[in-house]
Amino acid sequence: MSNRAKLDDVDRRILRDLQTDGRMTNVELAKRIGISAPPCLRRVRALEESNVIRGYHADINPDAMGYSVTVFAFVGLSSQAEHDLKEFEKTVAQWPEVLECHMLVGETDFLLKIMAQDWDSFQVFLTSKLTPAPNVSHVKTALVIRSGKAGNGVPIE
């Protein structure tokens, strides 16, 4: 069963433009889309209320904030019982170093995207939080050398 929202071309253009620049005014958005401001605002509010638009955020430069290390961690758990999977997700949700947590099918149970200020702080996180966490059986890591593409959102046709 799909939860896919029913969107027309105007909704898609609104989403594409807001995903690119979430700070633009409603007047600017309406102008770009080619409709007047009141119906544009109604459509944006409807997209927010239906949870198609989940929120707005600032794209912060990690280097400017002193975060120079990004690591992907492939985490295996001892138990894959639903309760244990949810408990791991709850634990990970409390760690600010973990930017993303994805449950996978295959050899690895979870893929985590972790950001740290430096290699030493990542090692402290790894040895004091991640590897000793309940139910964690093994962790493999991959250090990011550079990112050729990093984006947020979804592809909008």
Span 33-80, pLDDT tens digits: 999 999 999 999 999 999 999 999 888 999 999 999 999 999 999 999
Over the Cα atoms of the chain, what is R_g? 20
Report the top-level CATH class of 63-143: alpha beta
Q: What is the mean pLDDT of the chain?
A: 94
Fold identical between 9-49 and 63-143? Answer: no
Q: How many CB atoms lie within 10 A of CB 153?
A: 11
- Of 17-31, 101-115, 143-157, the range with the lowest mean pLDDT is 143-157
Question: What mean pLDDT do residues 80-108 have?
Answer: 96
Q: Is the dihedral of CA 25, 32, 44, 23 positive or negative?
A: negative
Domain residue ranges in the chain: 9-49, 63-143
- Identify the CATH class of 9-49: mainly alpha
pLDDT band at 122 (very low <50, low <70, confident <90, very high): very high
65, 66, 71, 72 alpha-carbon torsion, rounded to 10°: -10
What pLDDT sits at residue 149? 87
